[in-house]
Amino acid sequence: MDESLNELLKRIKSIEIQGAKEIAIHSLKFLKKLAKEKGFGREFNRAAKKLENARPTAVVLHNCLEIIKKEKRIETIDKLLRKLNQATREIAKRGSRLIKNNYAIMTHCHSGEALAVIKQAWKEGKKITVYATETRPKEQGIKTAKELARLGMHVILIVDSAVEFFIKDIDVVIVGSDAIRREGIVNKIGTYPLAVVAKEHKKPFYVVGNTLKLDKRKKLIIEERPPHEIYVEHMKILEVRNPAFDVTPWKYVKRVVTEKGILTPGNILRMLK
Ligand code: RUB
């Protein structure tokens, strides 16, 4: 049975579908079907807006929709879907060069693109240990840990607050990105503290992200999620805040792995002009 817009929105908002790339891919596939049936008119625009607003921080879908709005063609949607998947393959190949045999890698949350890099290095026969943070409050890091452990990798699951404790044991930090902006890298909350700890211990901090994550939007919206994800008991006297993302300034970032190459923060800032 075909998924309705409301069902898809629910799966995206609940983080069943998560990660900037997956959100864009599922949304584009839905919109392609809608456009085939009803064209690129009002209904398409309404659905596109709702999907874009479901997780407003991630920029990939927004960038794709800007291109689709100009061209209004099914082939454009197909081209973007191909581009996203091709970019991941390219990123995996390029990024795996950063991982040497016997490396220990620390990662945060669940990024399809960061995982593609780690999996590629593993496929090439490198022995790897991955430290995966649990990623409070929705525990996407457990998804990362299980996915990699099932491949046979040595995976160590840790709580977010243990990154400093283990940083001495690792060689590189590799994280994904929701948006790549002039201010820095937008990624799951907790990425910035991880970058600071990495810098303090002189460990290279790499970000992975395809170029559809370059974010030229004027305003950055940091999604705030429901308090009950953190604590279920509702107390009138207690305020709970649950921002989903933070922005890591460029000074903490060594390189960004894109499908076009492993780029310096300077390269990226020029592309954002
Ligand atoms: C996911 C997250 C990921 C980026 C990149 O947050 O921060 O690192 O989205 O993912 P959430 P990808 O779980 O809240 O969606 O590399 O798959 O695009």
Domain ranges of the chain: 5-90, 92-271
Looking at residue 20, what is its pLDDT?
98
Of 111, 120, 138, which is best to mutate to test ligand 1, by the most ligand atoms within 8 angstroms of its C-beta?
111
Nearest residue (CA) to ligand 1, atom 1: 19
Does any ligand 1 atom lie closer than 6 A to the CB of residue 246?
no
Q: State the pTM of this model.
A: 0.97
Conformation bin of residue 109: beta by default, left when phi > 0, alpha when psi is -120 to 50: left
Looking at residue 121, what is its pLDDT?
98
Output the CA torsion sign for 167, 172, 176, 179.
positive
Looking at residue 235, what is its pLDDT?
84
Does any ligand 1 atom lie closer than 6 A to the CB of residue 21?
yes
Task: List active site positions.
Answer: 109, 178
Quickly name the fold that domain 92-271 has. Answer: Rossmann fold (3.40.50)
Looking at residue 2, what is its pLDDT?
73
User: What are the contacts of 223-231 at 24+ separation with CB within 8 A?
Assistant: 223/55, 223/56, 223/57, 225/137, 229/137, 229/138, 230/136, 230/137
Looking at residue 148, what is its pLDDT?
98
Please give the backbone phi and psi of residue 174, each rounded to the nearest 5 degrees, phi first. Answer: -130, 120
pLDDT < 50 stretches in the chain? none
Q: Kindly give the distance from the C-alpha atom of residue 270 to the centroid of ligand 1, in angstroms, as a whole number.
A: 24
